[in-house]
């Protein structure tokens, strides 16, 4: 059986009559899928980089300004302002902020539903636990893939609207007030 397949393949590839239509038809979908996957991966990495940058810079402001009265929406606006590239950031970004017990760390729940579960980012929250309380923040951004029906865009886990999730997680300790 394998001998007949090998002989057929050998005759098929040695044949020089006709055109390259068959080879072209077999190879072009693979080439385009690889191209679209690489574009999708590049844009995903760009979005992730901007989300991480926005979260890091906003958390730096929150961490260093212990006395400031930051609300959930203000931190969300800060993240979107620092991120820049993320489209519809104000409506697609969801934050979750929880205090962490350092000795019995448990982290976030494994299944994030990308819904707002923010505790108040107010000085009262930080002062009650002390100025050195550790906080854990998760930002979830919903995005629409560039090529949702092929390559990597097809492989993303999507919700009912065709949007996928990406996360940025950070931990920070509130700086002491002077």
Cβ(138)–Cβ(96) below 8 Å: yes
Q: Classify residue 39: in a domain, yes or no.
A: yes
Quote the pLDDT of residue 127.
Answer: 29
Quote the pLDDT of residue 55.
Answer: 94
Q: Classify residue 5: in a domain, yes or no.
A: no
The string of pLDDT tens digits covering residues 95-114 is 887 777 777 777 666 566 67
Q: Rounded CA gap, 123 and 131, in Å? A: 9
Q: Classify residue 71: in a domain, yes or no.
A: yes
Q: Classify residue 9: in a domain, yes or no.
A: no
Q: Classify residue 82: in a domain, yes or no.
A: yes
Q: How many domains does the chain have?
A: 1
Q: Classify residue 132: in a domain, yes or no.
A: yes
Quote the pLDDT of residue 73.
Answer: 82
Which ranges of the chain have pLDDT less than 70?
15-21, 66-69, 107-113, 115-131, 177-178
Quote the pLDDT of residue 97.
Answer: 79
Q: Classify residue 63: in a domain, yes or no.
A: yes
Q: Classify residue 110: in a domain, yes or no.
A: yes
User: pTM for this one?
Assistant: 0.74
User: Which residue range forms the structural domain that includes residue 123?
Assistant: 19-173
């Amino acid at each position: 059986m394998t001998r007949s397949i090998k002989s057929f393949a050998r005759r098929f590839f040695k044949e020089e009559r006709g055109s390259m239509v068959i080879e072209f038809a077999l190879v072009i979908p693979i080439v385009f899928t690889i191209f679209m996957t690489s574009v999708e991966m590049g844009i995903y990495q760009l979005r992730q980089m901007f989300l991480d940058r926005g979260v890091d810079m906003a958390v730096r402001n929150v961490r260093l300004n212990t006395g400031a009265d930051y609300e959930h929406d203000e931190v969300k606006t800060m993240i979107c302002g620092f991120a820049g590239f993320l489209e519809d950031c104000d409506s697609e970004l969801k934050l979750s902020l929880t205090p962490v017990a350092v000795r019995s760390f448990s982290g976030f729940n494994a299944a994030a539903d990308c819904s707002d579960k923010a505790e108040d980012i107010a000085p009262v929250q930080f002062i009650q636990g002390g100025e050195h309380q550790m906080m854990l923040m998760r930002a979830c951004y919903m995005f629409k893939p560039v090529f949702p029906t092929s390559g990597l865009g097809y492989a993303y886990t999507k919700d009912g609207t065709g949007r996928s999730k990406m996360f940025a997680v950070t931990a920070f300790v509130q700086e002491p007030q002077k």
